[in-house]
Structure 1
Amino acid sequence: MKVDPLFHPGWIRFNEQHWSLEAESVTLTPEKGDGWRLETVLYRNRKGRLVTPPRNPHLPIDFHCSSDRPASVNRRKRMALTRLAERLREIGLGGSLSLSSVANDIRPFEWAQMAARPRFTYHLDIDGRAGRIDPSARKKAQKCHRLGYRCDVTEDYAAVADCLAGPEARKGFDYRLEAAELETLAALMGPEHFVCFLARNELGEPMGARVCLFTPGGHALAWSAGMKTEAMKDGVNNLVAEMALSHFEEHGCTVFDFIGANIPPVAEMKEAWGGRLVCHYSISQRGFRQLAREAYVTARTLLKRESK
């Protein structure tokens, strides 16, 4: 089973339709035997170059090895990622590609003359999470309950989009999602893979929302979240997160990916949930300046060795 919901056909179709991209499902295997298999989804823009679609946290990667011996797993994953790097270089990158954390060996991409930049997120094991969550996170959710808030699964996509506009206004970025896009994505993926949580205050007014993608028995992704400015101090974000975690536990999900922890205040908020800090990589073609600098550093090193 592929645990990443970004493999879902509905999600792939949404990216093709909404961002005018061409998707390709890729399966790589060794020339002989069945010792390993790597699967991913690549997206090409109108120029035929590879890109990470907007609003995609990463490109999904699934790796299977027929052996569980560490030496075999390490060697075969290196071989699989080397094949993937070669495939990417042959097609050409139209921008940076954000890879799944499954690609934890970045060397094959560097060997293929690509630059790699580390990015971070938190993965929370859903089972047994109670003992990992900082008490401060639970207190904020409890405060929200005392103030009369309630949180439910919703299909009120207009209300969800309205809540997502909160951080857009405060932080100056654009989710590029309206109610119509959320409704389309819900229809493409279905309720077993797409869900919206909405928190309302005691007056019934929408105050906070979270949009998630998930695979039952696999991972859940905290894809988009937003709250009204006036509700920020009430702990709405924590209330919605607790509701989401309970929902995914009921669906047998194993890991909740908070998606992103690269900005100090965001990292501080997400680390309180007790997840594992996970590194993944964004890769891009090395530019002329970077290649020239690397050649210069290599030449200086060689000259120093010869002068000794």
Structure 2
Amino acid sequence: MNNDPLFHPGWIRFNEQRWGLTAEPLSFTPDKGDGWRLDTVLYRNHQGRLVTPPRNPHLPIAFQCASERPASRNRRKRLALTRLAEYLQQCEFGGSLSLSSVADDVRPFEWANMAARPRFTYHLDIATREDAIDPSARKKARKCRRLGYRCEVTEEYAAVADCLAGPEARKGFDYRLDAAELSRLAELMGPEHFVCFLARNAEGEAMGTRVCLFVPGGHALAWSAGMKTEAMKDGVNNLVAEEALDFFERQGCTVFDFIGANIAPVAEMKEAWGGRLVCHYTISQRGIRQLAREAYVTARTLMKRESK
């Protein structure tokens, strides 16, 4: 079983329809035997270049190994990622590619003359979360309940889209999702893989939301979240996160991926849930600009050493 919901056919179809891309599922295996297997899904734009689709936290990668011995597993994973890197080396990129944290050995891509940049997220072990979560996160959720808020699973996509507009207005970005797109994605993935949580205040007004993708028994991704400005001080985000974790525990999910921890205030908020800090990489082809930048950094480093 692939733990990553980004392998789901409905998600792949949504990316093709919404962004005008062509999906390219790939599988790599050894030339002989069946000691390992690597699966991924790449996407090409109209020019045939590889891209990470908008609103995709990463490109999914699954790695299977017939041996649990660390030496064998490390070697086979390196070989598998080398095969992927060799394939990518023959392609043209339309931008950087964000890889799943499964690709934790970035050396094959660097050896294939690609540049790698670390990015971060938090993975929370759902089964053991009670011992991991900071009491302050629970306290904010309790405050929210005392104020009369309640949280539910919903199919009211207009209310969800309205809450998502909150951070769009505050932070100046665009989720590029309206109620119709959310409804279409829900239809493509089904309730076994797509869920929206909606928090309402004591008056019944929708104030906060979280949209998640998940695999029962696998990973859950905190794909999109938003709350209205007037509810920020009430702990709505904490209430919705707590309800989501309870829901995913009932689905047998093992890991909750908070998706992104690269901005200081965001990282501070997410780290309170006690997840493990996880690194993944974006890779890009080394063009003239990238090579010039690396040469500049190297020259500055050498000049500083010589001046000491």
| TM bucket normalised to smaller | over 0.9
Of all paired residues, the percent bearing the same amino acid is 82
Cα 1:294–1:171 change in 2 (3 A) is closer
The residue that corresponds to 1:254 in the other structure is 254
Distance in 1 between residues matched to 2:261 and 2:162, nearest whole Å: 24
Q: Following the alignment from structure 1 to structure 2, what is the Cα–Cα distance between the partners of residues 40 and 121? A: 20
Q: Quick one: structure 1 residues 299 and 212, their matched pair in 2 at CA, closer, same or farther if it must change by over 3 Å?
A: closer
Aligned partners of 1:162 and 1:7: how far apart in 2?
28
Q: What are the within-5 Å matches in structure 2 for residues 116-127 of structure 1?
A: 116-127=116-127
One-letter amino acid matched to 1:284: S
Residue 278 of structure 1 corresponds to which residue in structure 2? 278
Aligned counterpart, 2:131? 131
Cα distance between partner residues in 1 of 2:17 and 2:118: 30
* Farther-moved stretch of structure 1 (290-299 vs 164-173): 290-299
Please tell me the root mean square deviation across aligned C-alpha atoms, in Å: 1.7
Per-residue CA distance 1:43-67 (angstroms, 9 max, x = gap): 0000001000000000000000111
Code of the aligned partner of 1:34: D
Deviations 1:161-191, CA, capped at 9 Å, x for gaps: 0000000000000000000000000000000
Aligned to 1:264: 264
- Measure, in 2, the Cα distance between the counterparts of 1:262 and 1:298: 25
- Shift, 1:91, TM fit: 1.9
- Amino acid paired to 1:163: C
Give deviations 1:191-220, integer Å, cap 9, x for gaps.
Answer: 000000000000000000000000000000
Q: Structure 2 matches for 1:196-235, cutoff 5 A?
A: 196-235=196-235
**Partners of 1:203 and 1:237 in 2: how far apart?**
18
Whether 1:147 aligns to 2:144 is no
Aligned to 1:88: 88
Letter in 1 for 2:65: C
Cα distance in structure 1, aligned partners of 2:296 and 2:51 = 30
Q: Which residue number corresponds to residue 236 of structure 1? A: 236
TM-superposed deviation, 1:7: 0.2
Counting matched residue pairs gives 302
Q: What residue ranges of structure 1 are gaps of 5+ in the alignment?
A: 302-308
| Residues 131-152 of structure 1, C-alpha deviations (whole Å, 9 max, x = no match) | 1000000000000000000000
- Larger CA deviation: 199-208 vs 83-92: 83-92
Normalised by the length of structure 2, the TM-score is 0.95
For 2:133 and 2:139, the matched residues in 1 are separated by 11
Shift of 1:89: 1.4
For residues 158 and 300 of structure 2, what CA distance do their matches in structure 1 show? 60
What is the aligned partner in structure 1 of residue 46 from structure 2? 46
- Kindly provide the amino acid, as one letter, of the partner of residue 67 in structure 1: S
Task: Tell me which moved more, 87-96 or 283-292.
Answer: 283-292
Q: For structure 2, which runs of at least 5 residues remain unmatched after alignment? A: 302-308
The C-alpha deviation readout for 1:220-256, integer Å capped at 9, x for no partner, is 0000000000000000000000000000000000000
Report what 1:56 is aligned to.
Answer: 56
Aligned to 2:305: none
Q: Give the equivalent residue in structure 2 for 1:16.
A: 16
Q: Provide runs of 4+ in structure 1 moved above 6 Å.
A: 295-301
Q: Distance in 2 between matches of 1:230 and 1:79?
A: 52
Q: Which amino acid aligns with 2:53?
A: P
Question: Secondary structure of the residue that 1:197 maps to in structure 2?
Answer: strand
CA distance in 2, matches of 1:235, 1:294: 44
SS at match of 2:90: helix
Q: Distance in 1 between matches of 2:92 and 2:70?
A: 32
Partner residue, 1:304 = none
Q: Distance in 2 between matches of 1:149 and 1:295?
A: 55
**Secondary structure of 1:91's match?**
coil
